[in-house]
């Protein structure tokens, strides 16, 4: 039976932190191929290819302004299970450029990569997660707000969600900078 358990889990060390450092967007319809690892790398994205002229877009986030939650939903009666990832980000300051981007983001399905504050023990690289590989993530809720008092948030809160057959996956470790893996192919990472 392919759903046999394969390992247990002990209490781990208190050596992790929460939060998201950066979010990367790839347009879902530009994905040519992707693959998870086999045997020892199951649950790890090891290959990801966009078209040769397609970019990934990076948004650097302020500490404490983003989160990711994945909800598992199962039905004993129907014998089904699926996962609903959700990412919420806050961006400070209302701008005309962001107004234009929110329209574009809301019009597309996306593959989202999250660069976490958590680091790998072996080399201190940030942990990366991939969401929406099979069906894409969509910007389905958000606000733009001025705030009232001088100290209030002025900017955007955007929520992306999806529905997947499989849980989110960890991205294979990078060499120097996130997503520079040898088997990741795309034109460039656009930062501004």
91-126 confidence digits (pLDDT tens): 999 988 888 999 999 999 999 999 999 988 788 899
Q: What is the pLDDT of residue 8?
A: 77
d(CA 124, CA 22): 16
Sheet strands side by side (includes 66-75): 66-75, 80-92, 155-161, 138-145
Q: Give the number of C-alpha atoms closer than 13 A to the C-alpha of residue 166, restricted to the C-beta side.
A: 16
Q: Looking at the domain assignment, is residue 4 inside a domain?
A: no
Q: Looking at the domain assignment, is residue 11 inside a domain?
A: no
Give the confidence band of 39 by pLDDT, cuts at 50, 70, 90. Answer: low
d(CA 169, CA 110): 15
Q: What is the pLDDT of residue 40?
A: 61
2-28 confidence digits (pLDDT tens): 677 666 767 777 767 889 999 999 999
d(CA 117, CA 19): 6
Q: What is the pLDDT of residue 2?
A: 66
d(CA 112, CA 131): 5
- Domain count of the chain? 1
Res. 43: pLDDT tops 80:
no
Residue ranges making up the domain that contains 124? 25-190
Q: Give the tokens for residue 25.
A: 């967007």
In the chain, beta strands by DSSP E: 20-27, 31-36, 44-50, 56-60, 66-75, 80-92, 110-119, 126-131, 138-145, 155-161, 169-171, 184-185, 189-190
Res. 80: pLDDT tops 80:
yes
Q: What is the mean pLDDT of the chain?
A: 91
Q: Looking at the domain assignment, is residue 44 inside a domain?
A: yes
Under DSSP, is residue 103 helix (H, G, I), strand (E, B) or coil? Answer: helix
- The pTM of the full predicted model, rounded to 2 decimals, is 0.90
Under DSSP, is residue 83 helix (H, G, I), strand (E, B) or coil? Answer: strand
d(CA 140, CA 107): 10
Q: Looking at the domain assignment, is residue 50 inside a domain?
A: yes
134-182 confidence digits (pLDDT tens): 999 999 999 999 999 999 999 999 999 999 999 999 999 999 999 999 8
Q: Looking at the domain assignment, is residue 8 inside a domain?
A: no
Q: Looking at the domain assignment, is residue 7 inside a domain?
A: no
Q: Give the tokens for residue 43.
A: 């649950």
Q: What is the pLDDT of residue 72?
A: 95
Q: Looking at the domain assignment, is residue 82 inside a domain?
A: yes
Q: Looking at the domain assignment, is residue 2 inside a domain?
A: no
Percent of the chain with pLDDT over 70: 94
**What phi and psi values does residue 97 have, to the nearest 5 degrees?**
-65, -45
């Amino acid at each position: 039976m392919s759903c046999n358990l394969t390992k247990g889990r002990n209490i781990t060390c208190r050596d992790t932190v929460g939060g998201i450092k950066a979010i990367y967007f790839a347009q879902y319809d530009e994905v040519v191929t992707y693959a998870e690892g086999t045997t020892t790398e199951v649950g790890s994205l090891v290959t990801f290819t966009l078209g040769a002229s397609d970019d990934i877009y990076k948004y650097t986030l302020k500490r404490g302004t983003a989160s990711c939650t994945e909800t598992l939903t199962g039905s004993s009666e129907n014998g089904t299970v699926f996962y609903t990832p959700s990412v919420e980000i806050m961006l400070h300051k209302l701008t005309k450029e962001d107004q234009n981007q929110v329209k574009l983001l809301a019009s597309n399905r996306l593959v989202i990569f999250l660069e976490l504050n958590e680091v790998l023990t072996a080399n201190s690289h940030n942990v990366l997660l991939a969401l929406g590989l099979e069906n894409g993530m969509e910007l389905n809720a958000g606000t733009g707000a001025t705030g009232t008092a001088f100290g209030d948030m002025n900017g955007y809160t955007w929520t992306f969600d999806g529905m997947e057959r499989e849980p989110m996956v960890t991205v294979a470790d990078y060499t120097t900078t996130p997503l520079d893996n040898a088997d990741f192919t795309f034109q460039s990472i656009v930062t501004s």
